Amino acid sequence: MSRDSGPGGDTPDPDRTDAEPVPGALAARLSIAVVWLLHLLPYPLVAALGTLVGWTLWPLARRRRAIALRNLELCFPAWSTRQRRTVARQHFVFVARAFLERGVLWYASPSRLRRILRIEGAVDEALDGSRPTLLLGFHFEGLDAGWTALSMVAPRPVSGMYTPQKNKLLDAWVVRRRSRFHTESIVSRHDGASGMLRQLRRGVPFYTLPDMDFGARHSHFVPFFGIPAATLDAAPRLAASSRARVYPVVTRILPGWRGYAVVVHPAWADFPTLDHGRVSDVDADLLRMNRFIEEQVRTMPAQYHWVHKRFKTRPDGAPSLY
């Protein structure tokens, strides 16, 4: 269950090892065909198929199941074993649905998408282009829908970041499908902060996902549910360098197969903390971000991306948590 998580977040899953196979041309074409075919089905049926796949994966995906249960144990130690298993099983359904429903997000008509994508909050303010804007998405399973909704309603092109697929055919396909609406650029994560900064300084709203463990480089160990987690420092540093406003964006998969709710939260005041134009307390900024994510996770615990080893990177001398 490796995860292609959308602009900013990203592909491939950081937990993936080089020993895992890269899809060949035939497998890539079959994957593309399946995703395309899914968009021909009514959305509730696609969602129902995702639910069925999620139930099927739960007993089969032993490694990912163990990671999800361990993450929930670490983050919610007061929960019972039964409660953690219930949430983890629900999580597998959301993971499977998010994957299959890309067929709709990537190929359905705008009029059809408007029926399942509800976007609200500080949308106009965030996308008006009056000054540089950093849109912080987070790893809730609906994040691809969040990107689609933002790029569809934006009055001007927006940009996002992703990690290239190892399979070149899949890579080109992902970039093309994510660029279908008002997209200036999908920036490779390999370009680093400089690629993102160029977009921000040009006034292009930029969508990124800063809450995965990509190792110690450019990360600070900041509490996430009370546990030191390697947290990328890109958000405060990019905002400071470009003088950007920072808007959190949270996407929720709605119950009853009704689609997605995308909320653009108000811009964070005094983020990042600055002293003469430079970030003065990056740890405080990252802690603020992590606490915001925690608040959102508590409202929909089954929808956060628990199959990723969020605590994989450890401080020097600290034992592995997995």
**Per-residue model confidence (pLDDT) at position 276:** 87
pLDDT in tens, 87-146: 999 999 999 999 999 999 999 999 999 999 999 999 999 999 889 999 999 999 999 999
pTM of the model: 0.91
- DSSP 3-state of 291: helix
Which residues, at least 6 apart from 189, have a Cβ–Cβ distance to it below 8 Å?
10, 161, 162, 163, 164
What amino acid occupies position 178? R
Report, as ranges of residue numbers, the positions in the chain whose pLDDT lies below 50.
1-12
d(CA 62, CA 264): 35
Torsional sign, CA 140, 144, 145, 151: positive
**Per-residue model confidence (pLDDT) at position 194:** 87
**Per-residue model confidence (pLDDT) at position 22:** 65
Instruction: Give the number of other CB atoms < 10 A from CB of residue 214.
Output: 19
Instruction: Give the number of other CB atoms < 10 A from CB of residue 248.
Output: 23
Question: ∠ CA(29), CA(34), CA(39), 5° rounding?
Answer: 130
d(CA 129, CA 310): 33
Which residues, at least 6 apart from 182, have a Cβ–Cβ distance to it below 8 Å?
151, 152, 154, 155, 156, 157, 158
